[in-house]
Amino acid sequence: MIDSQPSSLDFTGYTPTWCAGCGNWGIGKGIELALKKQQLSPDSVIMLFDIGCSGNMNDFINAYAMHTLHGRALATAVGVKIANHKLPVLVTGGDGALYGEGGNHFLHACRGNHDLTVIVHDNSVYGLTTGQVSPTASKGKKSKSTPSGIIERPVNPLLLALTQGATFVAQGFTAQLPQLAELITAGMQHKGLSIINVLQPCVTFNKENTYAYYIKNTYKLPEDHDKSNFSQALEQAQAVFEERFPLGILYQAERPSYQDELPQLASEALVNKQRFLNNSALLKQFT
């Protein structure tokens, strides 16, 4: 949906159809609060949505948006950011889409340090297709697709992002809305790839990783945590293996983004270059 009044801060789209109690409600509100805090309008930001319950947010937030192919939200976002690097670009997808089907794009977005804000709905299941295990599901987890229990060990998204080069790595929890909104805001204001893994209970298909489970097993990073210290970040990320989930910014570093290192973008955005404008005018003759 596109706002008819560009100056409006109203990001209200259609009424969400998520299950009552779904963590997606909290993530949607966290994104909205972060956008409003930065005084952004619906026509000043673009969001790329992957497939799944999280992707349905495409209809529920009023902004420039694109519903991409499964696992391809990051790849599409990279193209959007290169075309108009002055536009804030957000990516929203599930742990299955971004760590599974789109895992290759995730790795290369990290190593390239593309200037994107990636918000991952991590609920350990494929909710839209009725609860099959996702890459973050615990070993032994039973589901329709793994009736005897999943064989693989779970992906540790925090370690994955850190070791592949992301310059902003954080984790939030949908029941901690004020902190989540702050993390999204900080991620958007960071220059480079921002990964925000959000612990998001699926109340319908995941009866193990519930709100009560995360309230018991999450903890805020200590006040003396040095987010510029890579070793400290790695240590905190490994707590996940002990079913302890840190909340906050684990790591933040300054490094030129991919777009910063493209000489073609030094003077102006690609969408404003005359060659691009001429091609756009030519294409309109055939549409």
pLDDT score for 68? 94
Joined together, the tokens standing for residue 63 give 């902004």
Joined together, the tokens standing for residue 239 give 């707590």
**Residue 3 pLDDT grade (very low, low, confident, very high; cuts 50, 70, 90):** very low
pLDDT score for 281? 59
More confident position, 278 or 168 = 168
Q: Please tell us whether the domain made up of 24-261 is placed in CATH 3.30.750.24.
A: no
Query: What digits encode the pLDDT tens for the residues 5-55?
Result: 444 678 888 899 999 999 999 999 999 999 999 999 999 999 999 999 999
Place of tokens 């519930």: 210
pLDDT score for 278? 64
pTM: 0.91
Per the CB < 8 A criterion, the answer to whether 133 and 124 are in contact is: yes
Among 275, 30, 51, 245, smallest CA distance to 136 is for: 245
pLDDT for 157 beyond 90 = yes
More confident position, 8 or 172 = 172
Query: What digits encode the pLDDT tens for the residues 112-150?
Result: 999 999 999 999 999 999 999 999 999 999 998 899 999
Task: Name residues whose C-beta falls within 8 Å of residue 177's C-beta, 6 or more positions apart in sequence.
Answer: 26, 29, 30, 33
pLDDT score for 279? 61
Query: What digits encode the pLDDT tens for the residues 217-265?
Result: 999 999 999 999 999 999 999 999 999 999 999 999 999 999 999 998 9
pLDDT for 287 beyond 90 = no
Q: Indicate left, alpha or beta for 192 from its phi (over 0: left) and psi (-120 to 50: alpha).
A: left
pLDDT for 286 beyond 90 = no
pLDDT score for 284? 65
Per the CB < 8 A criterion, the answer to whether 248 and 179 are in contact is: yes
Joined together, the tokens standing for residue 94 give 């599930």
**Residue 270 pLDDT grade (very low, low, confident, very high; cuts 50, 70, 90):** confident
Per the CB < 8 A criterion, the answer to whether 239 and 221 are in contact is: no
